[in-house]
A = this chain, B = another copy of it.
Amino acid sequence: MTAEPSTTPRPSAQGPGAARQHTLRERNLQLVARAVFDAPTPLSRADVAAATGLTRATVSTLVDRLVEGGLVSELPPVAAQRAGRPAVPLVPAGRSVVGLGLEVNVDYLGARVLDLTGEVVVSRVTAGSFHDSDPADVLGTLGTLARDVVAEVHDGGMRLAGARLALPGLVDARTAELEVAPNLGWSSLEPVPLLGLRGPDGSEVPVVVANEAKLAALAELAGDVPSSFLYVSGDVGIGAGIVVDGRLLAAERGWNGEVGHVVVDPAGPRCSCGAYGCLEQYAGKEEILRSAGLPVDASLAELLELLRSHDRGAGAAVQRAGRALGSALADFVNLLGVSTVVLGGVYTELEPWLRDEVLTVMGERVLAAPFVSLEVRAAQAGQYAALSGGAREVLREVVAYPAAWV
């Protein structure tokens, strides 16, 4: 497992002497940026000095760089508690440096821009049906949508730091290649060139490709969630993101969270992957719809309507999904030791009907269940969470490596 790749260029050494100075200054800039961005309430320059162990003079110079570079803003001074100059609270800068989240999913395309305060600057989503679609067509359409959004941001005087492209499949983080996205019918392709995304001045926009469930998991961090949790996103396929101490658990080539093909019952039905009794055969969206007596292309709204009117077949279908999901989640909780599971994708709205079955099976199967409080909750990040998670991840990298931006 290695770190996920960066969207931001990292400055290179300029000879041994320069590199040493450079490295030190950059490390201090990182410390200061982290202190300002991680603070639950705004810090002053003096607070940052106390938090980092750097001198006030050094902190002041570095904060000035972050302010001039548009990463940090100064609020109006507040009177100091003791004698002395009033303190200037430091906060993330709004509408200055921004990140772009892009997504292709089975039934929509989208682009969303967030700024460093976490505000949505622009968000565009287009519905469609991209089952067994042509990657060049679909990514070309998304590229056009993205170019419009980038132009809008540029016209507003903002600087785009980069983009993340969310795809429902196995993405090789090293090569930016999509190995396979079964529900789009795509395999072995490089998505970024097909987007053809450039800035209004013709400059290249760095785009990193990632799995959609993982980016959606990161979007949860904007809300009230523990710093470690397992995010499981249900759709036609089922994906997961493992968040540990506020970061995605990285993996060799970025391949993890492929939970749709976990064994629920080796005597179960044959799966599209060739194996038997995979989780998707019980808790995949199409399987839930089919088992509820609906066509596989029915909408989630139709299923919810049946559930709200206490339809027996629909209730039984969701219970069956809940039991299978509970069994798979119990295995993961035993392995990972997390106690919070966040349900995303279609599971978010199904949570009231899934929850009891999931918790019952987990209670039976999690070895630590008598000693911990297991929590299963609906995702909070709202629709198209991978768009927000992708934009957020771009900006996390800006704050982690600020020297390239100030």
Contacts and interface: CB of A to CB of B under 8 A. Distances in A.
Given A263-B330, A265-B267, A337 B367 contact: no
A331 interface: yes
**Most interface-central of A23, A244, A255, A274 (chain B CB within 10 A):** A255
Given A336-B251, A372-B255, A244 B1 contact: yes
Interface string A9-49: 00000001001100110010000000000000000000001
A402 to B, nearest CB: 17
Contacts of A339: 252
Nearest to A266: B265
A267 B336 CA distance: 25
Number of copies: 2
Contact of A20 (B53, B327, B337): B53
Contacts of A367: 170, 255, 258, 260-261, 273
B258 A364 contact: no
A378 interface: no
A281 to B, nearest CB: 13
Given A228-B1, A335-B259, A372 B267 contact: no
Contact of A256 (B240, B253, B274, B336): B336
A235 to B, nearest CB: 16
A344 interface: no
A195 B55 CA distance: 47
B337 A19 contact: no
B23 A53 contact: yes
Chain A's interface: helix, strand, loop or mixed, by majority?
A: loop
Contacts of A172: 371
A170 B335 contact: no
A335 B332 CA distance: 8
A371 B188 CA distance: 10
Interface in A335-385: 335-339, 364-365, 367-368, 371-372
A372 B253 contact: yes
15 contacts: A2-B245, A19-B53, A27-B53, A179-B371, A242-B336, A244-B249, A249-B249, A251-B336, A251-B338, A256-B335, A259-B334, A260-B367, A265-B265, A275-B365, A331-B331
Interface of A: 1-2, 16, 19-20, 23-24, 27, 49-50, 53-55, 170, 172, 179, 227-228, 240, 242, 244-245, 249-267, 273-275, 327-328, 330-332, 334-339, 364-365, 367-368, 371-372
